[in-house]
């Protein structure tokens, strides 16, 4: 089966007064239809940049330097601006942190859904559009009357659901949800995640879930991808990632999660995340890595496949590859 | 061992170089300051080159065109380089005197208005309570009243012979303090909530310390902007009062000269230079102030710069 | 809830009018000028009656206008008459009342003021919005700059220059007046066109002078709005640039500008007053200038008070209309 989403050598830089910051460094990723991937990492590791690059929404001073993002056989990077605009929402959709300010305060929710449909299927009748939007609202557990409400009349969780409803309007093949649960309370977080889970099953798309709450993510995704300094360090199934993480950074991340055995003794990762302007040579993680070897300071570890479908970029396992 | 490389400390450029660099980026501030500099030079030159007494009527041969345009004349630019008006004022002297008088009204009105605004806005926002409610209420009630209309009443109620440039400044400032009061008040209110103020308070810094050590320095760009826009308003409203004939009629204020030229039909009688000089000076002063204000706006809110 | 809001706004309006009337009552009385005495002294000088006659006449007028009563009683009477919109009579054009003078000149002022206020609001805000929008073409963005420059040119000076160059020198436009002499006012198309033709220069000078302020404030507002999440999400939705500009960016950026509209009218009225008298348009401004020249105090106070009340009323009106534009306000 060919993966619905194929990312190859995707590279993004930001040109600042202080020099070029590499925010995304030759990232490769595959995702099958119906698969859910959690993308985790510290802030500044490049998660959001990756989402924006896939939508081709990197704004100056940022620039996509190269690579391809293929969705259902179409390379988004090769499309014209107008074709890309038509692909947003219909091929690949982005769900923002809706709890805050993602909805236009002066337009009714319905109008903000209908304009999205009209932008892609202009010849659909008004009744049909309305019906499609209503159904979409219902499928995220919202009442039909939300259609004629304004954003300020909704709670944070409801606004997030509206954003999800907009994201699934055109049944895209890939959905990227960028920290959809931040700024929500714990109960609502769970409900929102369950909603995403259900609509994903209904329309069978691939989902990329960006976040840093590993605990919440573990309950909903199939695979977890760990990013560090603009590179993917490990991509494994949830079970493998939590029981037997391979990359030392992934190990540190898992160890830092509170669990029953360490009884709330919080273990952080020593050192600071590197500045994207000065990424350490070799493996970017080596200054903070307990198991660093000489080769780690000089050579960038290649992503290798282990145990069937685990992808890890670390010199420790070089002989096992 | 880590691979952290030592970075040479960046060479700190001199203060003047930094300023010059900043001005190159903030063009409106640079141009505005440039115009002001030019006007100051003109005034300074005038202090030595002309007798200010000639700025009053009957001191020169009336209705003479500007000598500065008469290149063929052997004594270029002549005795009346900017010409003279219907009443026999030497326009050159009138411009020197009128310019600093006009500016003086603006600066006095601006300084007083800003001072009142800072004191009122500060105390009402910092201490809150009933005082704040009263100050805010008065400002809100006075804001819809067109300031110029009230200024007309004040000016019209005075005996015209008593009006000096200082009474002009007084008239202007009387209704010009609400703007800065509201601006400073809202800034202090938002600053009160910021962390650095809370930290200072928690670490036992007294009210005076918080006001002068923490809030005031952060308020300076806003005070500067308020001052510049107050000067703009002061020049503008005194100009309008003069142009409807409510100025100190004897003085060669720019507005007065234009009013006089207008009432004598200067353009239609062919004495175009009479209104042109004061009008250009007015445009220069007001544009410079508007540009400086825009520049300060950029300084206080760097996001605007992106659109340049 | 809704009723309380309306009552509060109306109370605010009354406070503003009260404050304005109080100022116009007390300020003239703080100076020692007596308008009636001055007026009759002027008449006496030009011949007519003796100094002793003058005293008798002044005394009788003072009595008629209640000037011999204690100050507080005068004040109460005054506020009462303002409430009845009785602004007194013109000393110069006796027995015409101030309200009659206002009524006959008001239409001219309203036309000039509203046309220029609305045009400058529309032009200024569109230019400002385009200037701040990162995707607008460079030439469109640069159009805004000259308008910002005009901020330093008071509309009165523009009026003088336009009058001289376009009307006097090039003879492209009429030299003032409301309509050509020798034609009778009616509602025919040719007359309306004639009036409009005479309004072009005054309106242009007022628009050019006030557009820059809108450009500048809208540019600042636009920069803020384009960073908002909902503008970003609109682009993620694949909307066309035009839709995003109109529905997501412009609509939100315009809202705070609307509240400034009534205030801008207040400052435009200042320029309008002077521009009108320059172009000899028979509006409120010309009447005000004439009254100032003639020391016709009650007309000065009356017109000032009337303008103040109108601006305050408009401001409150805009606040009433604001919830129609911004659904968030309805709640509180």
Q: Is B282 on the interface with C (CB under 8 A)?
A: yes
C107 lies in the same domain as C75? no
Mean pLDDT of C238-260: 89
Q: How many other C-beta atoms can be found within 10 angstroms of the C-beta atom of residue A195?
A: 20
pLDDT digits (tens, 9 = 90+) for A9-49: 999 988 877 778 888 888 888 898 888 999 988 877 888 88
Look at residue B285 in the predicted model and tell me its pLDDT. Answer: 92
Answer whether C12 sits within 8 Å of B307, measured CB to CB.
no
Nearest to B239 by CA among B218, B262, B256, B222: B256
What's residue B302's pLDDT? 59
Closest CB from C229, C238, C326 relative to A119: C238
Whether residues C67 and C125 fall in one domain: no
Token pair of A72, please?
């259902």
- A57 and C247 in contact by Cβ < 8 A? no
CB C286 within 8 A of CB C68: no
The answer to whether residue C188 is domain-embedded is yes
Q: Specify which residues A31 forms β-bridges with.
A: A5
Tell me what pLDDT residue A291 has.
Answer: 82
Instruction: Indicate whether C275 belongs to any domain.
Output: yes
CB distance C297–B156 less than 8 Å?
yes
Based on the fold, state whether residues C65 and C179 are members of the same structural domain: no
Instruction: Assess whether pLDDT exceeds 70 at residue A267.
Output: no
| Residue A158 in this model has a pLDDT that exceeds 70 | yes
User: Comparing C45 with C139, which gets the higher pLDDT?
Assistant: C139
Q: Which residue of C has its CA nearest to A159?
A: C230
C243: nearest CA partner in chain A: A115
The last residue of one of the domains, among C83, C115, C142, is C83
Using a CB-CB cut-off of 8 Å, the residues of chain A touching C240 are 85, 119
Nearest Cα to C155, choosing from A222, B52, B239?
Answer: B239
Judge whether residue C332 has pLDDT over 80.
Answer: no
Residue A98 is predicted with a pLDDT of: 62
- For residues B281 and B297, give the distance between their C-alpha atoms in angstroms, rounded to a whole number: 24
Residue of C nearest to A176 (CA): C236
Confidence of residue C244 (pLDDT cuts 50, 70, 90): very high
Residues within 8 A of A (CB atoms), C 249-278 only? 251-252, 255
Tell me if C98 is assigned to some domain: no
Decide if pLDDT at C128 tops 50.
yes
Domain-located, residue C59:
yes
Note whether B219 contacts C: Cβ–Cβ < 8 A: no
Residue A1 has what pLDDT?
67
* Interchain CB distance below 8 Å, A106 and C327: yes
Q: How confident is the model over C283-316, as pLDDT tens digits?
A: 888 888 888 877 777 888 888 888 888 888 888 7
Highest mean pLDDT among A91-100, B65-74, B204-213: A91-100
Q: Which one-letter DSSP state was computed for residue A89?
A: T
pLDDT tens across B107-128, in order?
999 999 999 999 998 888 888 8
Measured between CB atoms, does B4 come within 8 Å of chain A? yes
Residues C132 and C240 reside in one and the same domain: yes
Give, as one character, the DSSP assignment of residue A32. -
Whether B203 contacts chain A with CB within 8 A:
no
Q: Which of C235, C243, C325 sits opposite A57 (nearest CB)?
A: C235
Q: Which residue in chain A has the smallest CA separation from B2? A: A287
* Cβ–Cβ below 8 Å for A96 and C236: yes
pLDDT of residue B112: 93
Tokens 């007001």 sit at which residue?
Answer: B286
pLDDT of residue C256 exceeding 50: yes
- Of the candidates C117, C149, C18, which has an alpha carbon nearest to the alpha carbon of residue C75? C18
Bigger pLDDT: C332 vs C59: C59
What pLDDT does B7 receive?
43
Task: Name chain A contacts of B302, Cβ cutoff 8 Å.
Answer: none
**What's residue B76's pLDDT?**
62
pLDDT for residue A94: 92
| Encoded tokens for C202 | 């005054």
Q: What is the pLDDT of residues B229-254, one digit of tens each?
A: 889 988 988 888 888 888 887 888 88
Distance CA B198, CA C202 (A): 54
pLDDT of residue B74: 65
The whole-number pLDDT of residue A247 equals: 87
Which residues of chain A make contact with C227, given a CB cutoff of 8 A?
Answer: none
Q: Which residue has the higher pLDDT, B306 or C223?
A: C223
| Pick among A55, A57, A105 to test the C interface (most C CBs inside 10 A) | A105
Do C181 and C275 lie in one domain? The reply is yes
CA distance B163 to chain C (A): 12
Query: Using a CB-CB distance cutoff of 8 angstroms, which residues of chain A are in contact with residue C245?
Result: none
Q: Are residues C18 and C118 in the same domain?
A: no
How far CA A199 is from CA of A34, A139, A164, A192, A216, in Å, comes to 11, 7, 9, 11, 18
Q: pLDDT at position B8, please? A: 45
Mean pLDDT of C115-120: 92
A53, A69 contact by CB (below 8 A): yes
Say whether both C132 and C276 belong to one domain: yes
Say whether both C180 and C320 belong to one domain. Answer: yes
Q: Same domain for C109 and C71?
A: no
Chains in touch with C (3+ beta-carbon pairs under 8 Å) read: A, B
Instruction: Determine contact: B6 vs chain A, CB below 8 A.
Output: no
CATH number of the domain bearing residue C256: 1.10.3720.10
Mutual orientation of helices B216-243 and B178-192 as an angle, nearest 10°? 170
User: pLDDT higher for A144 or C85?
Assistant: A144
pLDDT band at B54 (very low <50, low <70, confident <90, very high): confident
For residue A23, count other CB atoms closer than 10 A to its CB.
23
Q: Chains touching chain A at 3 or more Cβ pairs under 8 angstroms?
A: B, C
C148 touches chain B (CB under 8 A): yes
Q: Touching check for C248 and chain A: CB below 8 Å?
A: yes
pLDDT at residue C124, as a whole number: 92
Res C221 pLDDT > 60: yes
Torsion, CA B130, CA B135, CA B141, CA B147, rounded to 10: 170
> Residues of chain A with pLDDT > 90: what percent?
16
- Confidence grade of residue C122 (pLDDT, cut at 50, 70, 90): very high
Cβ of residue C234 closer than 8 Å to a chain A Cβ: yes
Phi, psi dihedral angles at B267 (to 5 degrees):
-60, -45
Partners of residue C244 in chain A, C-beta under 8 Å: none
Q: What is the pLDDT of residues A113-143, one digit of tens each?
A: 999 999 998 888 999 999 999 988 988 888 8
Q: What percentage of chain A carries pLDDT values higher than 70?
A: 95
Does B267 sit within 8 Å of C152, measured CB to CB?
Answer: no
A275 part of contact set with chain B, CB < 8 Å: no
Inter-residue contact C75 to C231 (CB < 8 Å): no
Residue window 209-248, chain A: list those with CB within 8 Å of chain B: none
Dihedral over alpha carbons C131, C134, C140, C141 (to 10 degrees) = 40
Q: Cα–Cα distance between A301 and A309 in angstroms, integer?
A: 18
- Per-residue pLDDT at C293: 79
C61 & C196 share domain: no
Helix (H) or strand (E) holding C202, with range, is helix C189-226
**Cβ within 8 Å, pair C236-A94:** yes
**Which of C55-59, C119-123, C299-303 is predicted with the least confidence, judged by mean pLDDT?**
C55-59
Q: Are residues C129 and C264 in the same domain?
A: yes
d(CA C237, CA B142): 46
| Inter-chain residue contact B244 with C273, CB threshold 8 Å | yes
Q: Which residues from A are below 8 Å from C228, CB to CB?
A: 101
Q: What is the mean pLDDT of residues B212-216?
A: 76
Q: What range does the domain containing C320 cover?
A: 103-325
Residue C312 belongs to a domain: yes
Q: To the nearest whole angstrom, how far is the Cα of B122 from the nearest Cα of chain C?
A: 24
pLDDT higher than threshold 50 for residue B216: yes
Q: How far is C240 from chain A (nearest CA, A)?
A: 7
Q: What is the mean pLDDT of residues C259-284?
A: 83
C301 found inside a domain = yes
What part of C 204-243 touches B (C-beta under 8 Å)?
212, 216, 219-220, 222-224, 227
Q: Which residues of A touch B2 (CB under 8 A)?
A: 287
Cβ distance of B153 and C301 shorter than 8 Å: yes
92-111 in B: which are within 8 Å (CB) of C? Answer: none
pLDDT at C61 over 80: no
| Rg (chain B; Cα; Å) | 24
Alpha helices in A96-185 (DSSP H): 109-120, 126-139, 156-167
All residues of chain C having their beta carbon less than 8 Å from the beta carbon of residue B142 are: 19
pLDDT above 60 for C188: yes
Where residue B188 falls among pLDDT bands split at 50, 70, 90?
A: confident
Asked if pLDDT for residue B211 goes beyond 80, the answer is: no
* Residue C15 placed within a domain: yes
Q: Where do the domains of chain A lie, and which CATH numbers do they carry?
A: 5-320 (3.40.50.300)
Full DSSP string of C257-325: HHHHHHHHHHHHHHHHHHHHHHTT--SHHHHHHHHHHTT-HHHHHHHHHHHHHHHHHHHHHHHHHHHHH
Q: Is the pLDDT of residue C39 over 90?
A: no
Render pLDDT for A46-94 as a digit per residue (tens, 0 to 9).
888 899 999 998 888 888 988 889 998 889 889 898 999 999 998 999 9
The answer as to whether C88 is a domain residue is no
Number of C-beta neighbours around residue B201 at 10 A: 15
The stretch B217-226 carries a mean pLDDT of 83
**What is the C-alpha R_g of chain A?**
20
Among A13-27, A226-240, A269-283, which stretch is predicted with the lowest mean pLDDT? Answer: A269-283
Go through the domains of chain B in sequence order and give each one's CATH number: 33-60+91-300 (1.10.3720.10)
A298-309: average pLDDT: 82
DSSP string, C14-38: HHHHHHHHHHHHHHHHHS---HHHH
Q: Which of B202-211, B285-294, C162-171 has the highest mean pLDDT?
A: B285-294
Taking residues A140-152, what's their average pLDDT? 89
Please indicate whether, in this complex, the C-beta atoms of A281 and B3 are within 8 angstroms of each other. yes
Counted domains in chain C: 2
Per-residue model confidence (pLDDT) at position C65: 66
**Model confidence band, residue C231 (pLDDT cutoffs 50, 70, 90):** very high
Please, what is the average pLDDT of chain B? 80
Per-residue confidence (pLDDT) for residue B12, from 0 to 100: 58
| Confidence check on the interface: ipTM exceeds 0.90, yes or no | no
Higher-scoring residue by pLDDT: B87, B68: B87
Q: Are residues C79 and C216 in the same domain?
A: no
* Residue A122 phi, psi dihedral angles, 5° rounding: -65, -25
Check if the beta carbon of residue A12 is closer than 8 Å to that of residue A64: yes
């Amino acid at each position: 089966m060919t993966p619905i989403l194929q990312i190859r050598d995707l590279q993004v830089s930001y040109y600042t007064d202080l020099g070029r910051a590499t925010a995304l460094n030759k990232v490769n990723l595959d995702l099958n239809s119906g698969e859910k991937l959690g993308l985790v990492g510290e802030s500044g590791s490049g998660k959001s940049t990756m989402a924006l690059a896939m939508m081709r929404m990197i704004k100056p001073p940022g620039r996509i330097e190269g690579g391809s993002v293929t969705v259902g056989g179409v390379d988004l990077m090769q499309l014209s601006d107008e074709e890309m605009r038509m692909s947003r929402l219909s091929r690949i959709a982005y769900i923002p942190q809706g709890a805050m300010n993602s909805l236009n305060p002066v337009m009714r929710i319905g109008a903000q859904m209908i304009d999205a449909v009209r932008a892609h299927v202009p010849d659909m009748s008004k009744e049909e559009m309305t019906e499609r939007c209503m159904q979409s609202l219902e499928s995220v557990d919202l009442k039909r009357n939300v259609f004629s409400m304004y954003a300020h009349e909704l709670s944070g969780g409801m606004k997030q659901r509206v954003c999800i409803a907009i994201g699934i309007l055109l049944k895209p093949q890939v959905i990227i949800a960028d920290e959809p649960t931040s700024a929500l309370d714990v109960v609502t977080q769970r409900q929102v995640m369950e909603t995403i889970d259900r609509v994903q099953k209904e329309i069978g798309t691939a989902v990329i879930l960006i976040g840093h709450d590993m605990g919440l993510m573990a309950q909903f995704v199939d695979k977890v991808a760990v990013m560090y300094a603009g590179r993917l360090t490990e991509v494994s199934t949830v079970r493998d990632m939590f029981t037997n993480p391979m990359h030392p950074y992934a190990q540190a991340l898992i160890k830092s999660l509170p669990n029953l055995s360490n009884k709330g003794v919080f273990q952080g990762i020593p050192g600071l995340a590197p500045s994207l302007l000065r990424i350490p040579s070799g493996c970017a993680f080596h200054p903070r890595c307990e198991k660093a070897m000489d080769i780690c300071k000089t050579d960038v570890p290649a992503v290798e496949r282990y145990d069937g479908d685990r992808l890890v970029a670390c010199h420790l396992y070089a002989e096992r590859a | 061992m880590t691979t952290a490389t030592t970075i040479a400390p960046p060479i700190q450029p001199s203060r003047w170089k930094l300023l010059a660099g900043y001005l190159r980026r903030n063009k409106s501030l640079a141009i505005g300051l440039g115009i002001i500099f030019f006007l100051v030079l003109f005034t300074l030159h005038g202090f030595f080159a002309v007798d200010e007494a000639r700025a009053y009527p009957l001191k020169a041969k009336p209705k003479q065109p500007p000598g500065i345009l008469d290149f063929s004349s052997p004594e270029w630019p002549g005795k009346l380089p900017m010409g003279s008006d219907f009443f026999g004022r030497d326009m050159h002297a009138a411009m020197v005197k009128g310019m600093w008088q006009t500016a003086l009204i603006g600066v006095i009105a601006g300084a007083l208005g800003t001072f009142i605004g800072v004191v009122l806005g500060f105390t009402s926002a910092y201490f809150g309570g009933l005082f704040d409610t009263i100050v805010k209420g008065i400002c809100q009630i006075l804001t819809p009243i067109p300031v110029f209309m009230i200024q007309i009443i004040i000016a019209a109620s005075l005996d015209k012979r008593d009006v000096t440039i200082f009474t002009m400044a007084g008239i202007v400032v009387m209704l010009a303090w609400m703007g800065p009061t509201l601006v400073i008040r809202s800034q202090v209110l938002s600053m009160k909530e910021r962390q650095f103020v809370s930290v200072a308070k928690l670490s036992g810094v007294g009210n005076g310390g918080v006001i002068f050590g923490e809030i005031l320095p952060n308020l300076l760009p806003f005070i500067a902007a308020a001052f510049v826009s107050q000067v703009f308003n002061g020049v503008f409203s005194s100009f309008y009062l003069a142009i409807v004939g409510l100025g100190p009629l004897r003085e060669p204020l720019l507005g007065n000269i234009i009013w006089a030229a207008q009432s004598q039909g200067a353009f239609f009688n062919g004495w175009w230079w009479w209104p042109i000089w004061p009008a250009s000076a007015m445009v220069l002063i007001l544009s410079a102030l508007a540009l400086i204000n825009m520049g300060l706006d950029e300084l206080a809110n760097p996001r605007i710069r992106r659109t340049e | 809830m809704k009723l309380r809001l309306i009552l509060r706004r109306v109370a605010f309006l009354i406070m503003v009018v009260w404050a304005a009337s109080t100022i116009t009552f007390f300020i003239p009385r703080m100076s020692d000028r007596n308008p009636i005495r001055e007026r009759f002294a002027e008449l006496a000088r030009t011949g007519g009656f003796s100094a002793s006659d003058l005293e008798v006449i002044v005394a009788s007028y003072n009595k008629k206008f209640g000037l011999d009563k204690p100050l507080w009683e005068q004040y109460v009477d005054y506020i009462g008459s303002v409430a009845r919109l009785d602004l007194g009579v013109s000393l110069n054009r006796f027995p015409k009342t101030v309200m009659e003078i206002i009524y006959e000149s008001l239409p001219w002022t309203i036309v000039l003021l509203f046309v220029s206020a609305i045009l400058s609001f529309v032009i200024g805000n569109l230019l400002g919005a385009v200037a701040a929008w990162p995707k607008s073409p460079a030439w469109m963005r640069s159009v805004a700059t000259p308008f910002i420059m005009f901020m330093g040119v008071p509309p009165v000076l523009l009026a003088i220059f336009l009058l001289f160059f376009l009307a006097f020198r090039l003879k492209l436009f009429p030299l003032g007046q409301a309509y050509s002499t020798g034609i009778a006012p009616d509602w025919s198309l040719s007359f309306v066109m004639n009036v409009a033709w005479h309004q072009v220069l005054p309106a242009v000078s007022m628009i050019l002078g006030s557009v820059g302020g809108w450009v500048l404030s809208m540019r600042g507002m636009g920069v803020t709005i384009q960073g908002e999440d909902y503008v970003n999400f609109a682009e993620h939705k694949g909307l066309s640039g035009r839709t995003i500009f109109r529905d997501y960016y412009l609509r939100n950026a315009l809202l705070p500008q609307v509240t400034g509209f009534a205030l801008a009218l207040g400052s435009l009225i200042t320029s309008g007053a002077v521009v009108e008298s320059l172009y000899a348009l028979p509006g409120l401004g010309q009447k005000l200038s004439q009254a100032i020249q003639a020391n016709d105090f009650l007309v000065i106070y009356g017109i000032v008070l009337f303008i103040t009340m109108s601006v305050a009323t408009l401001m409150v009106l805009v606040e009433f209309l604001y919830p129609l534009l911004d659904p968030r306000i309805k709640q509180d």
